[in-house]
Amino acid sequence: MALRSLELDEDMLQRYKYKKQLALHHLNSYMLKKEARDRALSRSSAVRPAAICHDVVIQNALYTGDLEAMQRLFPRGSTATLIIEPQGGDMRWVATGEGLWSLTYEQELTTPLHITASRGFADCLRLLLQRGADVDLAPGGTTALHESCESCQPECTKLLLVHGANANAVSEDGLMPLHLCTSPESFECAKYLLQYGAAINGRSIEEEDTPLHVAARNGLPDHAELYLRYGAAVDKKNYEGLTPLNAACSQRQEVEELQRYFKVCQILTGAGADIHITDQDRHSPLHMACKNANPDIVDLLLANGASVNDMDYGGEAPMHNILKVVCFKVPHHPERIVRALLNHGSILVWPGALPVEHKDFFESVFSLAMTPRSLQHLARCKLRDFLKGRIHNVVPKLQLPTFIRNYLLLEYRGFIH
């Protein structure tokens, strides 16, 4: 009963937090829209309301970036503040009456600015802005600035900002334009946003991510460096308790992405990121790097003092995480991680803690325990046992032949010897 009471209390706290976030989101949206309206009023004493446009000719000119046609369609003195309802879209069920549902196309409202900005039609966008288009209009829940950043269109991003676009506008999903800079190609957009006052530590509504979280999660070292120069908080936690370093280490990484994520972690640790902060399940960055089998990040964390024997709430150390995925991460060189953990004093892992899918393999490995196969192997076991977690520091300082040094440090040569 006590446990159930605690669970109910936790549910109430979660609901209260969600309602508070929702109220804050609505307040932020209202204030940003009010600010945009005030700016628009200060620019023009006669602001025209947005008109609905169903003209296919205008839509074709916008979607194809036909500047010549747009100059004819939007002469001086005409309004460019239009709302467009594109044809087509995704199908969804919509309630049409009492108990009746109809499968219809989901229409997303947009504007000429959204269309041209997202497609990189800078000349067309400039014409529309000169014709007084409302730069912060967001009929579909996002502004044209959100669209240009998401589509990695730096020239259009700069144009919108020069004409007064709100660099901190919050979308319907609770995201600012900086949160949509998620690829290497969006770097110039991020630079312009920061130059025009984007909030460097602005949080998304649901995940509470900062732009640095987004850069870390997407493996963007240039973005991370830029944000830190502008004063990004290196250890701020999001809703799940992840810092940017945790976010970078926890992200699933393909072989071709390993170096990108390593560079991000290098930048974050160089900026003073705390390598001991854990998430809600007590997973440290080292736990996460081992799970995703990034040997360079593991070496980096160990060099900065990460503990190889910290356990998460499930009672698992980093060694458990790498041994569970070693068979699926062969191209990532997981043997480097096992070697590094052992050289830094990792605890021994018992067979019962490992997956049953590869039982024969793990049993063959554990059968080698305490069974030296030669005098040389026995000598290595004794020396490593004597030095324990200091071997990675001591052996390189000894004047030993390369073969003996590598043998003592478990240098991998394609087989266990």
Q: Hey, which residues does 94 pair with through a beta bridge? A: 102
Count the neighbouring beta carbons within 10 Å of the beta carbon of residue 85. Answer: 15
Nearest 5°: the CA angle 215, 285, 346 is: 155
Q: What is the pLDDT of residue 85?
A: 77
37 inside domain: no
Q: Is residue 244 part of a domain?
A: no
Residue 247 CA to residue 283 CA, distance in Å, equals 11
Task: Say how far apart CA 71 and CA 79 lie, in whole Å.
Answer: 12
**pLDDT digit string, tens, across residues 251-291:** 999 999 999 999 999 999 999 999 999 998 999 999 999 99
Range of 125's domain?
A: 51-87+106-232
Residue 56: inside a domain: yes
Q: What is the CATH number of the domain that holds 58?
A: 1.25.40.20
pLDDT of residue 13: 63
Rounded-to-integer distance, Cα 193 and Cα 156, Å: 12
- pTM for this structure? 0.74
Q: List pLDDT tens digits, range 125-184.
A: 999 999 999 999 999 899 999 999 999 999 999 999 999 999 999 999 999 999 999 999
Predicted confidence (pLDDT) at residue 10 exceeds the cutoff of 70: no
Taking the CB of residue 37, how many other CB atoms lie within 10 A of it? 13
Residue 176 domain-assigned (yes or no): yes
Whether 52 and 85 have beta carbons less than 8 Å apart is answered as yes
Round to whole Å and give the CA distance between 325 and 331: 12
Radius of gyration of the chain (CA): 28
Predicted confidence band at 199 (pLDDT cuts at 50, 70, 90)?
very high
Quick one: pLDDT band at residue 46, thresholds 50, 70, 90?
very low
Three-state secondary-structure class, residue 274: coil
Predicted pLDDT of residue 76:
87
415 falls within a domain? no
* pLDDT above 60: residue 233: yes
Distances (CA, A) of 321 to 248, 280, 336: 17, 17, 14
| Cα 211 to Cα 225: distance, rounded to the nearest angstrom | 12
The letter for the amino acid at 350 is W
Nearest to 276 by CA among 257, 296, 249: 249
Q: Give the pLDDT band (50/70/90) at residue 22.
A: low
Total number of domains constituting the chain: 1
Q: Is the pLDDT of residue 90 over 90?
A: no
Lowest mean pLDDT among 91-95, 294-298, 380-384: 91-95
Distance, in Å, from the CA atom of 412 to the CA atom of 417, rounded to the nearest integer, reads 9
CA distances in angstroms from 224 to 146, 169, 187, 264, 319, listed in the order given:
20, 21, 10, 7, 29
Residue 380 buriedness (CB in 10 A; 0-12 / 13-18 / 19+) = middle
Predicted local distance difference test score (pLDDT) of residue 16: 57
Residue 23: exposure state from Cβ atoms within 10 A (0-12, 13-18, ≥19): exposed
- β-partners of residue 95 are 101
**pLDDT-based confidence at 324, cuts 50/70/90?**
confident
> For residue 335, is it within any domain?
no
pLDDT exceeds 80 at position 29: no
Position 108 scores a pLDDT of 74
Rounded Cα–Cα distance for residues 128 and 75 (Å): 10
Joined tokens for residue 216: 């870390």
Has residue 167 been placed in a domain? yes
pLDDT of 28 higher than 70? no
Q: Does a structural domain hold residue 150?
A: yes
Q: How many CB atoms lie within 10 A of CB 225?
A: 17
Residue of 100, 205, 111 lying closest to 160 (CA atoms): 111
pLDDT of residue 78: 82
pLDDT band at 44 (very low <50, low <70, confident <90, very high): very low
